[in-house]
Structure 1
Amino acid sequence: MSAPHPTEGGLLAPVLLILAILVVATLDATTGPELHISGFMGIAPLVAALRCSYRRTLLVAVVYVVVLTYVDLLTVPDWAPASRVVGVFGAFLVGVFALVLCRTRLQREALHARTSLVADTMQRAMLRELPLRAGTLEAYGFYVSAQEGARVGGDIYEAVDTPHGLRLLIGDVQGKGMPAIGAGLEVLASFREAAQYQDSLEGVAGRMEQALTRYNARSAEEGTDERFVTALLLEVRAPGRARVLSCGHIPYYLVRDGLVHERSDGEGALPLGLGGLHREPRRSVLVRPQPGDWAVLCTDGVTEARGGDGRFYPLAERIAARVDLEPADLARALRADLEDFTGGRLKDDATLLVVRRTPAEAVAAAPVRSAAA
């Protein structure tokens, strides 16, 4: 197998290691046979194996073997031939071990990079990058996974342009991190399909409920925990007419004329996965947005985030202080403020969407771009 050849890193590390080898060898050559410290420089090729590319590790190892061979053969006159052979052979073994260690490290790094690329691609396929655009609907925001190194976790979101209007979903799976991803993916895939064919939000929620029920049945057979999902569905069919359906999700915030209003339209329905516990069907609520209105939707990872003093994050206050910002700027400002409030220590997945209709003048100026979005 050929040695890996990654992009060469900086020269500083191998240069410093080679200089250290040469300095120690010079000390050995000038201080006489009483002091023999070159053998300790076997650490140099090992450090190179952990920090440098294969070629530069090879260079350090060669310098180490050549220098130590010179020291053992020419600067230690009282050594027996067998001792010299052992010294040279030991230096050679250290050099070979450093090269093997470097090759193994690089192979594992390459494998990790490939695995990370596949995982990242799958996660991107599950959750689209923000901002979302569906017809004239725009959703700016952020998603932060509580699990380090993961792009997705227990929160889901989507916006689609359908024959039945513009539809948007935000949801929160029970639990967080990797165990919640399966249930979230099941619900998200069901929403993307049902939103195109179901005439009502109730029908969409029903199909999502069925998908999660099947997922929970499989989970029970496999001995893993069942999940439920809180979700908020929004539908816009015409200017001034929209519908909202909440499946146990937290309220959203409506911003109108610079004022922030907490709205709990449709509140009271059970989360997805628990619909069989209640006989009453879920009902969407008709709302009448005005021109210039926009909304902020989030998961409880935002509103229940705690600061150092134990207080919950005051989202409504933070929005009210920034209503003059554009949606993209507001999303960035709220994310920075949330991280500052919590000290970067989020305990749950956190998602926030700033949703608005594209201004009419923007639609008129760029009809092709809007249709493509």
Structure 2
Amino acid sequence: MPAHRPQESGRRATALLILAVVVVTVVDATTGPELHISAFMGIAPLYAALRCSFRQTLLVGAVFVVCLTYVDLFTVPDWAPASRAVGIFGAYLVAVFSLVLCRTRLQREALHERTSLVADTVQRAMLRELPLSAGPVEAYGFYVSAQEGARVGGDIYEAIETPHGLRLMIGDVQGKGMPAIGAGLEVLASFREAAHYQESLESVAGRMEKALTRYNTRSVEQGTDERFVTALLMEFRGPAGLAQGRVLSCGHIPYYLVRGGRVYERRDGEGGLPLGLGALSDEPRRSVRVRPEPEDWVVLCTDGVTEARGTDGAFYPLAERLAGWTDLEPPELARTLRADLERFTGGELLDDATVLVVRRTPTAAQLSMARAAAA
């Protein structure tokens, strides 16, 4: 919302409050002492304290004091001097209290704004803003936290260009709230480090597993629950960065491949346990090879999307929706998908929801097609 909107709203409220006080004062002055309603207008400066600036509240309070003083001095002739003094003192007291209330509110709002700015900066450092750009690919999409007011939650994602090729990751932490954020940060930081130095996706997943295990050990010592994380890792190497690839799933939901205007649900690399549960099986996690084509799109998501329920209890039909939107460009597809998801759920998401629409950059795609034609 533009910054001038609250100021305009405050000016309108100030004008209306002053008008109300003046009108009530005129009514009191013209109807005689039998009707004395201006005393109830103490609500005007109190309302201003909650909605207006300090100067605007001061103005409303001053008009209220002047008007009530006039009423007490000139429109109620049968009042004793003591009664008049009490009435005027009460008006001053209400005005002063309104100013104190306004000042306290403004200080709290300033503190909240500073705290929110710090929290927002920390969250941005943890989870990069979309769209992402890494080497020959770009990733559009959205991330919606189920926790009101939070920029991040239990979903994580990243795209990094490394000496071992382009590496992508999307993950979903069990649970919500601060414990989920802590576990997600641990896994995300581990991926960012391991992706640069580990030769294989299996080794990257192993480092992420160890990081989460250490986090869970600390959590148990502090009396909180352990967490596990589902994750999908992708790696692309070769000319133009995407000639060949590998996929490794750590208990994550399938991804979607958009090729030639058709949508395919892909379960490549499935079978591995979620991170944090690897010790439950002796079977190692194994990646599988995939061969992307120049114009392929990949759509990654978390179960906050596929398990989102509509008002009738039905799950969100992501594959069906994607099939109808294959002609959209990635930025428009991401916006359309987010708006449709919000309509479908009535704005009531029960879990964090993340979607990444990944494709080659136009330059990389043209280079890849030219090399394929030359071959």
With the shorter chain as reference, the TM-score category is over 0.9
Q: TM-score, normalised by structure 1?
A: 0.93
- Residue 280 in 1 paired to residue 304 in 2? no
SS in 1 for 2:114: helix
The residue number in structure 1 matching 2:174 is 174
Q: Is the counterpart of residue 359 in structure 1 residue 366 in structure 2?
A: no
2:261 pairs with 1:289:
no
Q: Secondary structure at the match of 2:231?
A: strand
Deviation at 1:240, TM superposition (A): 2.4
Matched, 1:83 2:86: no
Q: Does 1:190 align with 2:193?
A: no
Equivalent residue, structure 1, for 2:313: 310
Aligned 8 A contact 1:142 1:331 in 2 = yes
Q: Is 2:136–2:364's contact at 8 Å kept on the other side of the alignment?
A: no
Q: Where does residue 42 of structure 1 map in the other structure?
A: 42
Residues 69-113 of structure 1, C-alpha deviation per residue, up to 9 Å, x if partnerless?
Answer: 111112211111111111111111001001001101111111111
User: Which range moved further: 114-123 or 8-17?
Assistant: 8-17
Whichever residue aligns with residue 354 of structure 1, its letter is V
For 1:328, the equivalent position in structure 2 comes to 331
User: Residue 95 of structure 1 aligns with which residue?
Assistant: 95
Alpha-carbon distance in structure 2 between the residues aligned to 1:133 and 1:276? 35
List alignment gaps of at least 5 residues for structure 1: 1-5, 365-373
CA contact (8 A) 2:231 2:252 kept: yes
- CA deviations 1:292-316 (Å, max 9, x no partner) are 1111111011111111222111111
CA distance in 2, matches of 1:306, 1:32: 64
> Deviations along 1:16-70, whole A, 9 cap, x unmatched?
1111111111122222222222111111111111111000100110111111111
Residue equivalent to 1:145: 145
- Size of the alignment, in residue pairs? 359
- In 1, the alpha carbon distance for the partners of 2:190 and 2:136 equals 23
Shift of 1:8: 7.2
1:52-91 equivalence runs, <5 A? 52-91=52-91
Find 2:260's aligned residue among 227, 244, 257.
257
Amino acid corresponding to residue 133 of structure 1 in structure 2: S
* Alpha-carbon distance, 1:361 to partner: 6.2
Give the secondary-structure state (helix, strand or coil) at the position aligned to 2:265.
Answer: strand
Question: What whole-Å deviation, never above 9, does each CA across 1:146-179 have from its counterpart, x for those lacking one?
Answer: 1111111110000011111100000000012333
Match of 1:350 in 2: 353
Whole-Å separation in 2 of the counterparts to 1:177 and 1:49: 34
DSSP-derived class of the 1:138 partner? strand
User: Using the alignment, how far apart are the partners of 2:148 and 2:128 within structure 1?
Assistant: 19
1:243-254 equivalent positions in 2, closer than 5 A: 243-254=246-257
User: RMSD of aligned C-alpha atoms?
Assistant: 1.5
CA distance in 2, matches of 1:361, 1:135: 9
Unaligned 5+ residue runs, structure 2?
A: 1-5, 368-375
Letter of the 1:19 partner, please give it. L
The change in CA–CA distance for 1:75 and 1:297 in structure 2 (over 3 A counts) is: same
* 1:112 corresponds to 2:112: yes
Instruction: Report the AA paired with residue 337 of structure 2.
Output: L
In 1, Cα distance between the equivalents of 2:78 and 2:262? 90
SS at match of 1:33: coil
